[in-house]
Structure 1
Amino acid sequence: MLTSDKQLVSCIVPFYNAEQTIVDCLDSIVRIDHSKLEVILVNDGSTDKSMVLALNYIEEIKAKNISFHLFENKINSGISSAKNLGMSKMSGEFFFFAGVDDLQKKERISKPLYFFHQHPSTDIVYFDCTISSDSENFSKQRKFPKEMNQENSILFQLKRNHFWSGLFLARNTINEKFDEKISSAVDYDWYFNLFFNHRNINFIRESFLDYKIHENNTSRNLSNSLLNVRKILKKYNFDILKKQLLDKFDHNDVNLSFAWIEITMGKYQKAIDLLNTIKPKAIYLETSFLLGSCYAQLNNYDHAHSYFAELVLKFPNSADCLNNLAVSKFFHANFNKQECILLFKKALEINPRYTDARQNLLNCQREEYQSLKITTKPLRETLIHS
């Protein structure tokens, strides 16, 4: 073990109708290699047997040096409410959230806690996870971007959320609340809440839990998530942040990150203007991909086609480039149905879990061409949802 067990750690487990996973979740928590632990369960108005199963497990396990505390919302009030309730009840020097459908690994506390001992100014340390799906027989470490480090992580976080609230250990001095008015993307919002309150945020690349993909993952509702992300981006003063970042980082990197924000907000011409200022070859793929997708969103498929055609020549095994080339071909003068079908199939051979390509293939075969969909932003190295 890397650290002493003398420091009490609070584990907060919000749950709602989790009868299928609650026992496995709790079982993984009690196997963590840090014995001085309090487990705070927050039942968010469950109507199934998860409450009974949790109580039975606590009664049977009789775990030494682990105390269990159960609180509940009488009605389902949402994940943010449940997390806030749990935070208000914790008494540990450090705390973390355990997703009720996630499995914690043995080192889930000891290794992040060791990081705190090495970096005493840190307020919160995030880490990685393994993403898996039993139904799809799929398991892979998520992985942070290779170029991301402690200094520039904000630039990557502006593009998409890398720091999930189930993947951290934090000091109890963090008291920022989750926004209960936002129904999804709450982790993304909470990160910016921490960042704009000048919390010292770090991360390590190891995986300390298994994140399970299933039909009830909140973020699967992509349209609702997009609406909430746009609300979040309107909450914070990103104009001031951009000025600060331009003083600290390469202007190309900063403009690229803020182009992602403009795309998220649906401001495609503003994104194009930013992207056209970017010169270095190192980010050629990302910049050209975003330019192509922006032009497609503006129905300028001649420009979109030229970008994706060039990208496919240079990156023939890029599934998202193949998908977008096929879509732009349909709206371009060079449309050929069979050629588009082959491109979609090749994209799926490279990445069988690529939803846009799979749906586009079906729509193309059905000749439902108006339903063909451009992938707006480059795919993560590891897809989160199928």
Structure 2
Amino acid sequence: MIDFPLISVIVPTYNQEKYIRECLESIARQDYPNFEIIVVDDGSTDHTSFTVEKTFSSFKVPTKFFRQPNQGAHAAINQGVKLSNGEYIAILNSDDLFYPTRLSKMYSALANNQQRFAFSKVRHIDDYGNTHQFQDQYLRTLENASQFPTINFEFLRTNIAVSTGNFLFHRSLYEEIGPFRSFVTCHDWDYVLRVLIIEEPLFVDEILLDYRIHSEGTLQKNLDKVNEEVEQIMLTYFDHLPEATNKQAPGPKQWGVYWNYFSTNFLDRIRKSPQVDEKIRRIEKETESVYETEESRGIKEEFLNYIGAPKPIELDLVNVPLETPKVDLTHPKGQFRMLIILPWMVMGGAERFILNIMDQLSQTGWSFTIITTAPAENVWKSKFLTRTSDIYELPDFLPINEYPRFLKFLIELRQIDLIFLQGTLEGYRLLPYLRILFPNIPIVDYLHFVIPEWMDGGYPRLSLTYRDCLDMTIASCEQVRKWMIEQGDNEERIKVCTINPDHNFWHPDEARKRQVRKLFNIGVDKTVILYAARLEHQKQPDVMIETLKKLSEKGHDFSAFIAGDGSLFHQLKSIVKESNLEQKIYLFGAVDPDKMRDLYISSDVFFLPSQNEGIALTIYEAMACGLPIVGADVGGQAELVTTECGFLLPPQSKEDLVSSYAEILSTLIQSPSLRQEMGVASRQRILSSFSIHKMKSCINEALQEVLQQKMNTRGERAILSRNELAKREARYVVEFLYAMSEIQRTQKMYHDLTDSYQKLSSSYQELSEKYFELLQPKPARYWFYLWIRQLLLPLYGRWKRGKTYFVLSHIKEWIKSKAVGEK
């Protein structure tokens, strides 16, 4: 004999005399053999209670009827659960209808899948029971939700369960989650999201409920509350997401790179709320958060306590204090300690390179201290903290005028053996100061590429300007080294160490490729093109998107993954939408390197049409993952990408680039064998000439060489000519004078604005007083005067130029003085 557990059907109602009889009869007709009906009247003022009692009188199933003061649907449901005895709880709103097989089919679905919460497909009906026009939109929503790995992703966009009347759940789940919360319109959506944190809601793909839409419905009467409540329930979901026991709950930790795609493309509605958007960003950032140690916090506090309260920065400086706290030496014996000076810790190839060399050099006895010099969000701080806890973001705790003193304090405290500089404008400007204070500590900088349009070369130009303070420069490729030598640097002090990838991490994986493509509903035979870069002009995303548009216009069947964030992201997203390419192009936003591997291994071609590069780290990684390269012949990229591995195009007009890139990609789309051949060659080139071990050896040998030179006092730094020194000092003077003029201009603007504000404030005060005076009660003679004035005004205006004007003016003033009391 089959055991059918008791199901308690709870019906919350309020002023639904029109529909509740039909609702209750739909429950009574269930083919499920063991259920009870509990109606909770939430303070109805019509004949709902009478209708319920009359209807119940003819029922043979167990029933309960409870009345309470009006408290809201959520309170009525919670009261119904208290009154119930069932192992399972079903809810039906009093204007909706069950299909006869609903309870039996919903229970069977839960039992067969060993789950505790289910909802079904519904039919939307109108006042008369006819299908409502909204049904088509609802079905489209369900169809769109099928593109996600689980239908429950849709709950972060819309409430596809529609109503509490669509719920069937086990009592143990209610006891674990707690009661329905006091939302007017979204208590149902809120409850599903709370379930989603714990386990997967089960969708029964069959219409088993009629949901009525009418003008007296709770949602229709409270539409003004929806957005506020949606914001609250989403904040609750993301608050609890980090502790979710449901491994399929939509979130960055659970879904990796797919979350990037989903969050970037499908959460526009909820991300309109600044609080929700900030919460999502924080969750994404903290997925792998590691926090700084008490030791580094203590060092900051010690220094700040020593210098006292921050003093205003003055440009008319006479004395810059350099006194620092007395240090207790902390250098571990047998270790080299490197001070790395960076601008920030954000997501980028240069930062990934630093992480790689920290990983490699730590194996040879190096430990690290990191300083950042530019204001930034530092979203990758957690990654650096897994390599060293000794990190100091200067803009976050120090005024600019204390940067030099803190550097001195930290270098002495940590007994720094070598200073390593990468891409920091402030760091280069501090070099003369550091060189004078610490003449025996070698200073090395690393250069990625030349930027002709910025400072006549970018950071390589700064390296040349300060080469008398540097013991060695390491370049990412021969092209950068040659540029430096052509500009006058000594070739003996410039080494080339390429930014090689970890080929053990970046490698092809066919099984994972199939898994990732399945998430996006992409077949294994479709060509996937990957573009990964910051969306800035240097990476030419405009050329990329125009090329993809041309491929689509040619009728090629392909998909494209675009990974990266930047100032051009929203513009690119609009172009994708306007060009109807949303089914072909997947936008991921910023992608963490650990998740980035999934995009490499699930792609077939790597496309990066940069305007300028040294050698892009993403090209190294793509080649290590066995992808052919389509990119730009700029910087040193031809040193890595040979004709066996891919195609590099020289700079040319945008139109010509788009046509040429489209032609190359067309060839690769149509020739899987060529893609395969080039991909194998790419991987082999990394293994044979650009392995992570070779990078480690190159960097380590360069650093040991410069350390040895210092120990033997044989290392000679470059000496600038008098003309070069004069140019550098002239630059300091120009920058200082420009800063002075800007400050003076800003101060004048501030004083002008202050004067304007005071004048406006005074005018406002006068107007306020006059307005207040007008609001005061007036005597009857005042209103009499205004009536006479309005009555005679047309005559006064007509006679204004006549001979009687003088007499009339005197009469008017006399009447005004008598009636109003003004002269």
Task: Please classify the TM superposition score into its range, dividing by the shorter chain length.
Answer: 0.5 to 0.7
Which shifted more, 133-142 or 7-16?
Answer: 133-142
Preserved CA contact (<8 Å) 2:129 2:212: no
Q: 2:121 aligns with which of 128, 131, 135?
A: 128
How far apart are 1:218 and its partner, in Å? 2.2
Q: How big is each residue's C-alpha offset from its partner over 1:71-102, in whole Å with a ceiling of 9 and x where there is no partner?
A: 121x2100110011111121112121011011
How far apart are 1:170 and its partner, in Å? 1.2
Q: 1:104 aligns with which of 98, 105, 124?
A: 98
How far apart are 1:234 and its partner, in Å? 2.2
CA distance in 1, matches of 2:72, 2:157: 26
Preserved CA contact (<8 Å) 1:95 1:172: yes
How far apart are 1:180 and its partner, in Å? 4.0
Q: Is the alpha carbon distance of 1:145 and 1:39 closer, same or farther for their aligned partners in structure 2, counting shifts above 3 Å?
A: same
CA distance in 1, matches of 2:214, 2:207: 19
Gaps (5+ residues) in structure 1?
285-294, 296-301, 315-386
Preserved CA contact (<8 Å) 2:123 2:131: no
How far apart are 1:262 and its partner, in Å? 0.7
Structure 2 counterpart of 1:148: 146
How far apart are 1:216 and its partner, in Å? 1.9
Structure 2 counterpart of 1:39: 37
Structure 1 counterpart of 2:59: 62
How far apart are 1:147 and its partner, in Å? 4.3
Amino acid aligned to 1:70: F
CA distance in 1, matches of 2:266, 2:152: 9
Structure 2 counterpart of 1:291: none
CA distance in 2, matches of 1:124, 1:40: 20
Correspondences of 1:337-356 after superposition (within 5 Å): none
Structure 2 counterpart of 1:231: 232
Q: How big is each residue's C-alpha offset from its partner over 1:212-258, in whole Å with a ceiling of 9 and x where there is no partner?
A: 11012222233211111112222233574633234273531243344
CA distance in 1, matches of 2:129, 2:253: 44
Which shifted more, 19-28 or 199-208?
Answer: 199-208
CA distance in 2, matches of 1:58, 1:76: 22
Correspondences of 1:184-223 after superposition (within 5 Å): 184-196=185-197, 198-220=198-220, 221-223=222-224
Q: Is the alpha carbon distance of 1:171 and 1:305 closer, same or farther for their aligned partners in structure 2, counting shifts above 3 Å?
A: closer
CA distance in 1, matches of 2:5, 2:59: 21
SS of the counterpart of 1:166?
Answer: helix
Give the structure-1-normalised TM-score. Answer: 0.64
Structure 2 counterpart of 1:71: 66
Preserved CA contact (<8 Å) 2:118 2:204: yes
Preserved CA contact (<8 Å) 1:25 1:103: yes
Correspondences of 1:287-366 after superposition (within 5 Å): 310=579
CA distance in 2, matches of 1:149, 1:165: 25
Structure 2 counterpart of 1:170: 169
How far apart are 1:161 and its partner, in Å? 1.2
CA distance in 1, matches of 2:148, 2:172: 21
Q: Note if 1:94 corresponds to 2:88.
A: yes
SS of the counterpart of 2:30?
Answer: coil
Gaps (5+ residues) in structure 2?
243-249, 285-533, 536-544, 560-569, 584-823
Structure 2 counterpart of 1:251: 260
Q: Count the aligned residue pairs.
A: 287
Task: From the two aligned structures, give the one with the greater helix fraction.
Answer: 2
Q: Is the alpha carbon distance of 1:126 and 1:136 closer, same or farther for their aligned partners in structure 2, counting shifts above 3 Å?
A: closer
CA distance in 2, matches of 1:9, 1:39: 9
Q: Is the alpha carbon distance of 1:133 and 1:311 closer, same or farther for their aligned partners in structure 2, counting shifts above 3 Å?
A: farther
Q: How big is each residue's C-alpha offset from its partner over 1:106-154, in whole Å with a ceiling of 9 and x where there is no partner?
A: 111111111123112x011111111111469544474323543895233
Preserved CA contact (<8 Å) 1:245 1:254: no
How far apart are 1:184 and its partner, in Å? 1.6
CA distance in 2, matches of 1:97, 1:182: 17
Q: Is the alpha carbon distance of 1:27 and 1:137 closer, same or farther for their aligned partners in structure 2, counting shifts above 3 Å?
A: closer
Structure 1 counterpart of 2:8: 10
The structure having more radius of gyration, on CA atoms, is: 2
CA distance in 2, matches of 1:151, 1:306: 26
CA distance in 2, matches of 1:25, 1:136: 12
CA distance in 1, matches of 2:279, 2:112: 43
SS of the counterpart of 1:215?
Answer: coil
How far apart are 1:265 and its partner, in Å? 4.9
Q: Note if 1:161 corresponds to 2:149.
A: no
SS of the counterpart of 2:70?
Answer: coil
What value does the CA root-mean-square deviation take over the aligned residues? 3.9
SS of the counterpart of 2:204?
Answer: strand
SS of the counterpart of 2:31?
Answer: coil
How far apart are 1:264 and its partner, in Å? 4.8
CA distance in 1, matches of 2:42, 2:148: 35
SS of the counterpart of 2:199?
Answer: coil
Q: 2:251 aligns with which of 242, 255, 265?
A: 242
SS of the counterpart of 1:10?
Answer: strand
Give the structure-2-normalised TM-score. Answer: 0.32
CA distance in 2, matches of 1:81, 1:32: 26
